[in-house]
Amino acid sequence: MLVAYPLTDAKLVLQAFRKYVASAPDEAGPIPIIWTFASSEPYPEEVWGKPFIGVAGTYAGTAEDGERAYKPLRELATPMLDMSEAMPYLAVQHLFDEEYPDGRRYYWKSSYLKGLDDAAVDTLVDFGARRPSPLSSVDVWSLGGAIARVGAKDTPIAHRSAEFLIGIEANWDDPSDDDANKAWARGLAKALEPHSTGGSYLNFEDLSETAAAANSHGPNFDRLVAIKRRYDPDNLFRSGRSLGGHGN
pTM over 0.85, yes/no: yes
Q: Which of 70, 80, 97, 74 is nearest to 43 (CA)?
A: 80
Quickly list DSSP for 174-219.
Answer: -GGGHHHHHHHHHHHHHHTGGGB-S---GGGS-TT-TTHHHHHHGG
SS3 77: coil
Q: Which domains does the chain have, with CATH numbers?
A: 2-215 (3.40.462.20)
* pLDDT interval class at 240 (50, 70, 90): low
Sheet order of strands, 31-36 included: 81-82, 2-6, 51-56, 31-36, 137-142, 164-172, 105-113
Whether the per-residue pLDDT at 210 is higher than 90: the answer is: no
* pLDDT interval class at 41 (50, 70, 90): confident
What residues have CB less than 8 Å from 111, skipping those under 6 apart?
A: 165, 166, 168, 188, 189, 192, 193, 195, 196, 200
What's the rounded mean pLDDT across residues 177-201?
Answer: 96
> What residue type is assigned to position 48 of the chain?
W
What tens digit of pLDDT does each residue of 84-133 get? 999 888 988 888 888 999 999 999 999 999 999 999 999 999 999 999 99
* pLDDT interval class at 238 (50, 70, 90): confident
Whether the per-residue pLDDT at 2 is higher than 50: the answer is: yes
Mean predicted lDDT score pLDDT of the chain: 92
Whether the per-residue pLDDT at 159 is higher than 80: the answer is: yes
